[in-house]
């Protein structure tokens, strides 16, 4: 029997409803404000080093094109799939939430007692604000979706607060909400040009080894993963490598975009050529006559040509300096 709960109605009459403003607080039956920020969630840890390495490759490729997004990347050791979120105000609620997770794990343990994998492939976004690796359809994903539905219903009963509807399983790689200053920096969205050549990336598979009640606010553990208040481990063997030296142990590398550097080098070379040709076209005498002239003005076409040439030389020099600065800034 599936693990679902229903709530009774307090009244048979149907009161007239008004549109709720975003500023209106959500209250429970005792009138308490429930419009509170979530501080716990139930998740499935994504620990496969193969997936970690592929996610890191995507993150580094994006940062090489737009380094300012460094504050929006999801740390590799924290990769997970979120099943449900909740605000748990005290130890009593945390303890009851742990029971909810335990019951949910017991119901679905039979399916996950044999290796069941989630397959990650392709990049997608939520409104160009969140970049994630999508999960391929299959029996394991369907079971995960049922777990999410069960947890959502039970957490709503536990907290008295409505939960988010429409569970969309995904593996978050980058999200702008991690740094609200990005909009002020002129980055209101994740441009598709940053990952267009990686949309078909195959990340790998993750065996579902259990579900965990995790804290959003408590310090991370020694491996950089979320603090775990309770977990249900499924009795399943997993052959994934434990070597995280190339993903979790090394910081992200932000290298200059080689294509951009090549273009800048071509620009510098071109501008140098212009300067060289212009200077060679001027005689020392003509240059001396121009620099030696004080208050005398002349309408001579040759002198005007010399002055124009000097202006071009100055502009070209400025272009070279700007190009070099961009190269240094991208490193």
Question: How much of the chain exceeds pLDDT 90, in percent?
Answer: 54
Question: What's residue 163's pLDDT?
Answer: 62
Please name the residues in contact with 220: beta carbons below 8 A apart, sequence gap of 6 or more.
Answer: 77, 78, 226, 227
* pLDDT at position 20 over 90: no
Instruction: Count Cβ atoms below 10 Å from residue 131 Cβ, excluding itself.
Output: 27
| Alpha-carbon distances of 63 from 49, 169, 254, rounded to whole Å | 21, 25, 6
Residues in the chain: 331
CATH number of 40-233: 3.90.1140.10
Question: What's residue 154's pLDDT?
Answer: 92
Instruction: Count Cβ atoms below 10 Å from residue 82 Cβ, excluding itself.
Output: 19
Question: What's residue 283's pLDDT?
Answer: 53
| Alpha-carbon distances of 180 from 129, 174, 177, 183, 252, rounded to whole Å | 11, 13, 6, 6, 21
Question: What's residue 325's pLDDT?
Answer: 61
* pLDDT at position 68 over 90: yes
* pLDDT at position 124 over 90: yes
Question: What's residue 253's pLDDT?
Answer: 73
- Distance (Å, whole) CA 57 – CA 72: 15
Considering only residues 314 and 244, tell me which one the structure prediction assigns the higher pLDDT. Answer: 244
Question: What's residue 248's pLDDT?
Answer: 82
Question: What's residue 1's pLDDT?
Answer: 37
DSSP secondary structure string, 87-145? ---SHHHHHHHHHHHHHHHHHHHHHHTS--EEEEEEEEEETTTEEEEEE--SHHHHHHH
Instruction: Output the average pLDDT for the chain.
Output: 78
Question: What's residue 327's pLDDT?
Answer: 57
Please name the residues in contact with 288: beta carbons below 8 A apart, sequence gap of 6 or more.
Answer: none
pTM over 0.75: no
Q: What integer is the mean pLDDT of 77-102?
A: 96
Considering only residues 80 and 263, tell me which one the structure prediction assigns the higher pLDDT. Answer: 80
Structure tokens given for 100: 């909810």
Check: CB of residue 151 under 8 Å from CB of residue 84: yes
Question: How much of the chain exceeds pLDDT 70, in percent?
Answer: 64
Place of tokens 């005689």: 283
* pLDDT at position 202 over 50: yes
* pLDDT at position 98 over 90: yes
- Distance (Å, whole) CA 134 – CA 141: 11
pLDDT in tens, 224-243: 999 999 999 998 877 776 77
* pLDDT at position 306 over 90: no
């Amino acid at each position: 029997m599936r693990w679902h709960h229903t709530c009774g109605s307090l009244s048979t009459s149907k009161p007239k409803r008004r549109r709720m403003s975003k500023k209106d607080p959500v209250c429970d039956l005792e009138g308490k404000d429930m419009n509170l920020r979530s501080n716990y969630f139930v998740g499935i840890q994504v620990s496969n080093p193969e997936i970690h390495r592929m996610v890191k490759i995507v993150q580094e490729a994006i940062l090489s094109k737009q380094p300012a997004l460094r504050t929006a990347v999801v740390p590799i050791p924290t990769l997970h799939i979120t099943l449900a979120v909740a605000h748990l105000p005290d130890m009593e609620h945390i303890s009851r939430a742990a029971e909810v997770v335990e019951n949910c794990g017991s119901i679905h343990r039979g399916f996950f007692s044999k290796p069941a994998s989630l397959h990650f492939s392709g990049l997608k976004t939520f409104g160009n604000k969140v970049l994630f690796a999508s999960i391929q359809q299959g029996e394991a994903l369907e079971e995960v979706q049922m777990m999410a539905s069960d947890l959502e219903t039970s957490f709503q009963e536990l907290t008295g607060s409505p939960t988010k509807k429409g569970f969309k399983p995904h593996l978050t790689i980058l999200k702008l909400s991690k740094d609200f200053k990005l909009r002020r920096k002129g980055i209101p969205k994740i441009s598709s040009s940053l990952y267009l050549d990686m949309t078909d990336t195959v990340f790998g598979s993750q065996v579902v080894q259990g579900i965990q009640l995790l804290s959003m606010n408590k310090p991370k553990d020694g491996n950089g993963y979320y603090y775990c208040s309770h977990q249900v481990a499924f009795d399943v063997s997993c052959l994934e490598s434990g070597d995280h030296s190339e993903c979790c142990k090394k910081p992200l590398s932000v290298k200059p975009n080689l294509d951009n550097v090549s273009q800048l080098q071509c620009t510098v070379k071109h501008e140098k050529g212009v300067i060289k040709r212009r200077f060679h076209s001027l005689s020392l005498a003509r240059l001396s006559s121009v620099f030696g002239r004080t208050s005398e003005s002349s309408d001579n076409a040759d002198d005007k040509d010399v002055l124009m040439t000097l202006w071009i030389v100055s502009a070209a020099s400025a272009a070279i300096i700007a190009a070099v600065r961009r190269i240094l800034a991208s490193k």
